[in-house]
Amino acid sequence: MPCEQQESGAPPARYVVGVDVGSTVVKCHVYDRAATVRGSSCRKVESIYPRPGWVELDPEVLWSQFVGVIKEAVQVAGLHMRQIAGLGISTQRGTFITWHKRTGKPFHNFISWQDSRSAELVNSWNKSLLLKVVHVIFTILHFLTGNDRYLAASFLTFSTQQASMKLSWVFKNIHEAEEAAKKNNCCFGTVDTWLLYRLTKGSVYATDYSNASATGIFEPYTKCWNPTLCSLLSIPTSIYPSVRDTSFNFGSADAEIFGAPIPIMAMVADQQSAMFGECCFHPGDAKLTMGTGGFWNVNTGERLFASQRGLYPLIGWKIGEEVVYLTEGCMSDVGTAIKWAQDINLFTSVDETEKMARSVVDSQGVCFVPGFQVSVNDPYLCASFMGLKPSTTRNHLVRAILESVAFRNKQLYDIIVKDVRVPLQSIRADGGVSNNSFVMQMTSDLINKKIEKPANADMSSLGAAFLAGLASGFWSDKEQLKKLRRIEAVFEPQKDPEEYRPAMDTWLQAMKRSLRCKILQLPSFPGSGHSTEPHQLNSSIVEKGCSF
């Protein structure tokens, strides 16, 4: 690889690398000290759908893509690997794998956070008498002590997006993993743990606090794996990795992989990484990410907040003695819905959607309800278009999809304002859908707040790089990082939120109707071994009452 021209005798310039292993793409950016991107690379993540509702990733393919984007980005930047001061890794959360401790051989593919194979288990537990007893016990404990730790447990519910139930499914259905666990030979890891294990040729087995807290198995209050939950779900406690600081020297990548040992200086979950990349360092700073899914995160400082209406506490990051907590609310099918619309040829390029939405005055009463809704943990909720008419055009359909994103942003924002006892100071947006100014402006109007959009929407990569840079001394402190922020646009309210009330009321009614829809599952094609893909609506035909 070529090296940048240096003055005679001067040491080579140093750079940091941020990698974001997302749900749809693996991205890598090389940053200089001004946080300017010097080289980039990305590759599409290829999901596997072995059965309806199952979503997996091939670990070897993901490993190859991860290594490939780093090599390519450094090469594009015209650098040598020895010029990399640190590597920061941001990863999708809740996606996990188990493998044999001695051989390193996986027992199964990565099981994605989007996978719903545990749906029956989730529904069974959420309706169980035992969980109701748990709720009563912790409600009493919260009343007696006032400790918010017990408040969160008093309305504990399980979700298919959490790793906990799917991990329980693994030990009920994969005999090899169960037997290995009995002999203390089973390792569990989210994507970050697996990559670290491979980078260090098996010498380092660890995760960080942000990734651990997003599994549903880690207790953010005590900052340890939850033995009570593991006992309830029959998950062996011996399988978990050690948990380390987010900005930390995890060791170096083996020199055989990249031609030089690269220091691994940060591992962080993607939403927390985006929060750090947006420099949301103070209580009340909020981030709105609109990617494959949608996430609102609020920095709550040293306090943890939970809500009965779908908000949950997370560890944002731990750096030395500093532990920053976040409250998060999520919504599925943001970028996924737009990608589905593209796949069925509603438009050719996502860049067209803003113009299409603005070309009509309104959606003509058409509403789009994605498959999952805020505050509804119902894996069988059906997606639908409602209000279709003979005069409905593609433009109306596209506008309805984009409006649904803004309406759900409003829903989550209202819950956050009511339930999180930390005044919001700033709101910053990122993710691919934040590039759509129709969605951004409508969201700003609905919440009646200013929203900042950064010049670079890949905040997860930047956040990982920032964290790696701090650990390696590339950057000195968070104050220096704040000076590196670059804002591309600021969206300020232009309409009274009340102007949207009729349209949002209609959309809320459509959502309620979707909750009562029935879905018929189609079998896989005989002999194919594969189901249809998600953009084909999970192989479902929707009965009367939900029309596409």
pLDDT tens string, the chain, 548 residues long: the values are 444 444 445 557 799 999 999 988 999 999 999 999 999 999 999 999 999 999 999 999 999 999 999 999 999 999 999 999 999 999 999 999 999 999 999 999 999 998 999 988 888 888 888 888 888 988 898 788 877 777 777 777 888 888 999 999 999 999 999 999 999 999 999 999 999 999 999 999 999 999 999 998 999 988 999 998 899 889 999 999 999 999 999 999 999 999 999 999 999 999 999 999 999 999 999 999 998 888 999 999 998 887 777 788 999 999 999 999 999 998 877 888 898 899 999 999 999 999 999 999 999 999 998 864 333 445 555 678 999 999 999 999 999 999 999 999 999 999 999 999 899 999 999 988 999 999 999 999 999 999 999 998 789 999 999 999 999 999 999 999 999 999 999 999 999 999 999 999 999 999 888 765 544 333 333 333 333 333 333 322 222 233 32
Predicted local distance difference test score (pLDDT) of residue 11: 57
Q: Looking at this protein, which amino acid is placed at residue 13?
A: A
Instruction: Name the CA dihedral angle for 87, 93, 95, 97, rounded to a multiple of 10 degrees.
Output: 50
**Whole-prediction pTM:** 0.86
Predicted local distance difference test score (pLDDT) of residue 209: 98
Q: Helix/strand/coil (H, E, C) string of 449-475? A: CCEEEECCCCHHHHHHHHHHHHHHCCC
Tokens 């009274």, located at residue: 496
Phi first, then psi, for residue 84 (nearest 5°) are: -85, 115
Q: How far is 93 from 144, CA to CA, in rounded Å? A: 34
Contacts of 237 (CB under 8 A, 6+ apart): 225, 227, 230
Contacts of 311 (CB under 8 A, 6+ apart): 305, 327, 328, 329, 415, 416, 419, 420
Predicted local distance difference test score (pLDDT) of residue 4: 44
* Residue count of the chain: 548
Predicted local distance difference test score (pLDDT) of residue 545: 31
Predicted local distance difference test score (pLDDT) of residue 156: 76
* DSSP of 427-451: EEEESGGGG-HHHHHHHHHHHTS-E
Predicted local distance difference test score (pLDDT) of residue 118: 92
**Cα–chain center distance at 358:** 29
Residues forming a β-bridge with 244: 208
Tokens read off for 95: 């996606």
Q: How far is 314 from 185, CA to CA, in rounded Å? A: 29
Predicted local distance difference test score (pLDDT) of residue 296: 95
Tokens read off for 199: 């980078």
Q: How far is 524 from 538, CA to CA, in rounded Å? A: 11
Predicted local distance difference test score (pLDDT) of residue 309: 78
Q: Which residue in 459, 547, 508 sits closest to 35, CA to CA?
A: 459
CA distances 130 to 138, 142, 158, 285, 317, Å, are: 12, 18, 13, 38, 33
Tokens read off for 477: 């402190």
Predicted local distance difference test score (pLDDT) of residue 302: 92
Predicted local distance difference test score (pLDDT) of residue 516: 56
Sheet containing 451-454: give its strands across.
Answer: 312-319, 322-331, 294-301, 285-290, 426-430, 451-454, 487-491
Q: Looking at this protein, which amino acid is placed at residue 169?
A: W
Q: How far is 298 from 275, CA to CA, in rounded Å? A: 9
Phi first, then psi, for residue 319 (nearest 5°) are: -130, 105
Predicted local distance difference test score (pLDDT) of residue 381: 59
Predicted local distance difference test score (pLDDT) of residue 293: 82
Q: How far is 46 from 424, CA to CA, in rounded Å? A: 38
Tokens read off for 352: 């067209």
Predicted local distance difference test score (pLDDT) of residue 517: 54
Q: How far is 183 from 248, CA to CA, in rounded Å? A: 31
DSSP letter assigned to residue 37: E
Q: How far is 48 from 216, CA to CA, in rounded Å? A: 24
DSSP letter assigned to residue 176: H
Contact of 90 with 464, CB cutoff 8 Å: yes
Predicted local distance difference test score (pLDDT) of residue 143: 80
